[in-house]
Amino acid sequence: MIYQRSSALFSEAEKVIPGGVNSPVRAFKGVGGTPIFVKEAKGAYLYDEDGNRLIDYINSWGPMILGHAFEPVVNAVVSKAKKGTSFGMPTEIETKIAELAVSMVPNIDKIRFVNSGTEACMSAVRLARGFTGKDKIIKFKGCYHGHSDSFLIQAGSGASTFGVPNSPGVTQGTAKDTLLASYNNIEDVKQLVTSNQNEIACIIIEPVAGNMGCIPPQDNFLQALRTICNENGILLIFDEVMTGFRLARGGAQELFNINADIVCFGKVIGGGLPVGAFAARNEIMNHLAPLGPVYQAGTLSGNPLAMAAGLAMLTELNNNTEIFNRLAEKTAYLHKGISKVLRENNIDHTINRLGSMISVHFDEGKVIDFDSAAKGNNDRFKKFFHGMLDEGVYIAPSAFETWFITDALSYEDLDFTIEAVSKVAKIL
């Protein structure tokens, strides 16, 4: 395929935007080459600036669960826009979407809307600290909770208890309050809790990890976290920015039948507009300003266009709950097809999948945490990525990302994708 115009647009962008992109993963650093510039998208397809059609497995990193330019969402946004785009005053639609979200998600009484998943997670942690009066948090290596300071922490060499910042600009003072554990490793968590008695405000986790490929929680892992939190006065935060309104109507809490104390949302909840949210029981949410002392605010929070898009999206998911099974069936079909082709070509691989999230790792070992995800053959992934792109299939430009299956994908699209894998497998 030809990407002449995309390349030219990227050169222009690089002059005025750092790295030519407004979010780093778009820049193809993980796979080489220059990014594809999108002209428009509809249903399961992207159309780029060179006129290529690509089957999209990223879907804006999750939000477009019903496909691009989904009509009820587009119509809701267009009709709202004509009535004014922001007021900085309350509007009825904010209550409507809040009521709907609270009715869909287990164990929450109130929800506060913000503008991104980053903001949701950052605010949830502040609320947990304010509620418990404790400072430290536990996060899991390889889990992503947005780019606020407390979360940009990686394990230092050795089993250091205190986090080390992995971006300049994050201070040691901030990093020392973020403790790291390995995903699916309950012993790690127990040790941290024992050595930081009465200091830990919350444990934040992606209930199904989606930012190091797709890594489901192992049996009882989430339940064990719940127990540890109960026994130690620690709040359990489910970061459902990726999994919320995707894995089930009520997200991972419903799927695994485990209650979190605070839940974070983003992506699907905004229907493709910039929206995040965090939610909890009254007891916790009432600590938030203006009811309580924990401050949190936003000029554009609850923006009418964003709320209209989110409401249209959630309404559709609420009325068609068979969607989640249908998505899981399509994902299983893709899994089976890709697995068969890779096996026939003797390519070592592991495929992880849950619901409509799936990832292909080029290593035969089980992928259960960041270290096992990092073992994948990255050179092979790069070839795979570019090969698939040439066949007209767009997967994330990084070996550490989940593919997102949308309801707009037909079985012909899935067969086309499996056929593309069989062609690309020959050159891996």
> Applying CB under 6 A, which residues contact ligand PLP?
116-118, 121, 144-146, 206, 210-211, 239, 241-242, 266, 276
- Minimum CB separation of residue 244 from ligand PLP in Å reads 9
The residue among 188 and 239 lying less far from ligand PLP, judged by its C-beta, is 239
Within 10 angstroms of residue 368's Cβ, the number of other Cβ atoms is: 20
- Supply the DSSP string of 36-103, one letter for each residue: PPEEEEEBTEEEETTS-EEEESSTTTTT-TT-BT-HHHHHHHHHHHTT-S--SS--HHHHHHHHHHHH
- For residue 406, with 0-12 CB atoms within 10 Å meaning exposed, 13-18 middle and 19 or more buried, which class applies? buried
The tokens 């698939």 sit on which residue?
388
The residue among 120 and 284 lying less far from ligand PLP, judged by its C-beta, is 120
The residue among 205 and 234 lying less far from ligand PLP, judged by its C-beta, is 205
Q: How far apart are CA 77 and CA 310, in angstroms?
A: 9
The residue among 206 and 261 lying less far from ligand PLP, judged by its C-beta, is 206
> Which long-range contacts link 129-133 to residues 24+ away (Cβ below 8 Å)?
129/201, 129/202, 130/287, 130/292, 130/293, 130/294, 131/201, 131/235, 131/284, 131/287, 131/294, 132/201, 132/202, 132/233, 132/234, 132/235, 133/201
Let me know: does 40 contact 86? Beta carbons within 8 Å: no
Tokens of 387: 């090969």
The residue among 28 and 144 lying less far from ligand PLP, judged by its C-beta, is 144
Single out the catalytic residue among 188, 239, 261, 369: 239
Give the angle subtended at the CA of 393 by the CAs of 392 and 395, to the nearest 5°.
145
Let me know if 267 is a catalytic residue: yes
- Minimum CB separation of residue 422 from ligand PLP in Å reads 30
Let me know if 330 is a catalytic residue: no
Q: What share of the chain is helix, strand, coil (3-state, %, to 5)?
A: 40, 15, 45
- Minimum CB separation of residue 237 from ligand PLP in Å reads 11
Q: Please report which helix (H) or strand (E) contains residue 404, including its range.
A: strand 403-404
Let me know if 48 is a catalytic residue: no
- Minimum CB separation of residue 120 from ligand PLP in Å reads 7
Single out the catalytic residue among 3, 45, 57, 144: 144
Single out the catalytic residue among 80, 134, 136, 267: 267
The residue among 217 and 387 lying less far from ligand PLP, judged by its C-beta, is 217
The residue number with the shortest CB distance to ligand PLP is: 117
Q: How far apart are CA 163 and CA 152, in angstroms?
A: 9
Strand 178-181 versus strand 357-361 pairing type: unpaired
Q: Give the up-direction half-sphere exposure of residue 3: CA atoms within 13 A in the CB hemisphere.
A: 16
- Looking at this protein, which amino acid is placed at residue 99? E
The residue among 3 and 265 lying less far from ligand PLP, judged by its C-beta, is 265
Tokens of 322: 């068979």
The residue among 13 and 268 lying less far from ligand PLP, judged by its C-beta, is 268
Tokens of 306: 């964003």
Q: How far is CA 419 from the centre of its chain?
A: 28
Closest CA to 305 of 81, 101, 63: 81
- Minimum CB separation of residue 184 from ligand PLP in Å reads 16
Residue positions annotated with a catalytic role: 144, 239, 267
